[in-house]
Structure 1
């Protein structure tokens, strides 16, 4: 077992709360974080990095990583967007004229958007079709163990697209990917032949990036918007899933609108930080549903 560094406080502009840290790491943005109740820390993997996170009583983030993983602190700060001014982003959202958004923001103080490796975000959200968070996490873990690099004892990175290109569709199906295996294999083959493609997409303006991303096998508008929001830091992206459809139908009286129309509404109504607003209302709607079920 490799040694881990002593716990150290991460320099971060605005603090998390216990709730917002949990929702940020485990609320559908990323799928490689797990909480240890026994040890009271989060263990997560992104790129070629692995780290433990915990909150102090004063809501300071502390981290630890394998002692030979040099540069992990810099990568963690980038991943958590530690220096991004989230208060300024909130101030630019239309919560003053939108009571539902205001309630969602108040309920999840400290929520933020991660900056994941873009290629990983594309892969993870290709796994998300018709699946819930726990199931997506299982698929990602199986791919990591089967095809990814071992980062420290028993902990593997997600496979790169080049590594996935060496796998067959049958091997991917054996991991429980179902119909997603075909799209992942096809996408892997394309990206292995055009290794610059994802970098080009990430560097493009939002509309162009989305148009190019949906050309990949299995990448629809929702998957593209998730990957662009959580992996390419395009905060104007507005993913529309079943939860967001419910919110916009029930809270904004937008019945019978198509997902594309709802996405356009979200980008116009919420503005340049539409994806940030989406995460607040998404988290709030799920939490409200859990509360309502518990009262029955």
Structure 2
């Protein structure tokens, strides 16, 4: 295992590990102390978090164990990390890995949060959320795990969604051994495709079980892949993801925002629908697409354009950041 440290003072803006990983956008990391999603107003913690990153083009050629914890504050603290690749046929993370590069990608440490704050905080509700949870950043989760997580999210609290993903990992994910403990990788599409609906219902997935099984089968057999949405214009990317069973516009927007880098996406869940009704009634449209466009433009108004290799760059380019802050703020009852 390699180890190192990332100074937060070198970033463009603050960073808070706990609110980033426990704000309802990611269910693929686990706290080593077993306390993931037990703190409602998650912010400022110093626990170790762990995940097994699957082989990812441009990042790693093999599954890689990542461990990270935060020491100190959001502006002047540091991230301590450990990382190691798991060679084929092994269960130990023995191959050297660049944890700093992996964490920069997964936790969006390369985002200019200071610039985003400068404009979004003109909106009073967003300003309140940012002041309460400074340093929350969006994630770049692996697409398949993100997709299944949000297929499981319908009518579920975040702790329950996390529990489902933990059960999937422990039942069908490959084990990785570190310091005498076992951390499980997220199941591959092939592993889940082989399971029956009854198998998945046995993990408390309920009516979502056939959706997860069929989606895994689609990816395993090459029928579709969430990765293929990357690079499409935003509206086309959202439409592409709805071909997966159990995926509507809201789940598609979650995958686009929390995995594929479409920072203009705003998933219209119950919390954001409440925000629209109470704060931005002029954004209520006749359907999902119209409301989505109106609230994206409202929350993203005046933001600087961003230079991306895909998706649109324009007035809504960072609206998803505003949405994520507001979601975490309202969900934790801080307003």
Normalised to the residue count of structure 1, the TM-score between the two structures is 0.86
Name the residue aligned to 1:266: 295
* Alpha-carbon spacing, 1:228–1:144, altered in 2? closer, same or farther (3 Å): same
SS at match of 1:10: strand
Aligned to 1:29: 25
Distance between the aligned counterparts of 1:149 and 1:69, measured in 2?
A: 17
Show the counterpart of 2:97: 71
Alignment-derived partner of residue 155 in structure 2: 130
| 2:173 corresponds to 1:148 | yes
Asked if residue 235 in structure 1 is aligned to residue 253 in structure 2, the reply is no
Structure 1: gaps (5+ residues): none
8 Å contact kept, 2:256–2:265: yes
Residues 1:51 and 2:66 aligned together:
yes
Do 1:214 and 1:224's aligned partners in 2 also have CA atoms closer than 8 Å? Answer: yes
1:105-116 equivalences in 2 (<5 Å):
105-116=130-141
The answer to whether structure 1 residue 60 and structure 2 residue 78 are counterparts is: yes
Q: 1:86 aligns with which of 93, 113, 127?
A: 113
Map 1:1-40 to 2 at 5 A: 5-6=2-3, 8-10=4-6, 13-14=11-12, 16=14, 20-31=16-27, 32-34=29-31, 36=33, 40=46
Aligned to 1:181: 209
Contact map agreement 2:218 2:224 (CA 8 A) in 1: no
The question of whether the paired residues in 2 share the 8 Å contact of 1:125 and 1:223 is answered with yes
Find the aligned partners of 1:14 and 1:265 in 2 and give their Cα distance. Answer: 29
- CA contact 1:165–1:192 (8 Å) conserved in 2: yes
Q: Displacement, 1:124?
A: 0.9
Equivalent residues of 1:126, 1:180 under 8 A apart: yes
Separation in 1, partners of 2:151, 2:132: 30
Q: 1:45 to 1:259 in 2, by over 3 A?
A: farther
Tell me if structure 1 keeps the 8 A contact 2:83–2:97: no
CA distance in 1, matches of 2:204, 2:274: 29
Deviation at 1:107, TM superposition (A): 2.4
Are the equivalent residues in 2 in contact too, given 1:169–1:185 (CA < 8 A)? yes
Q: Match for residue 164 of structure 2? A: 139
TM-score normalised by L of structure 2:
0.76
Q: Which runs of 5+ in 2 are unaligned?
A: 36-44, 54-62, 85-92, 301-315
The Cα offsets for residues 213-267 of structure 1, whole Å up to 9 and x where unpaired, read as: 0121100111110011001011011111111111111122359756614322221
From the two aligned structures, give the one with the greater helix fraction.
Answer: 1
State the secondary structure of the residue aligned to 1:83: coil
Deviation at 1:198, TM superposition (A): 2.5
- Give me the CA root mean square deviation: 2.5
1: CA distance, partners of 2:96 / 2:151 = 30
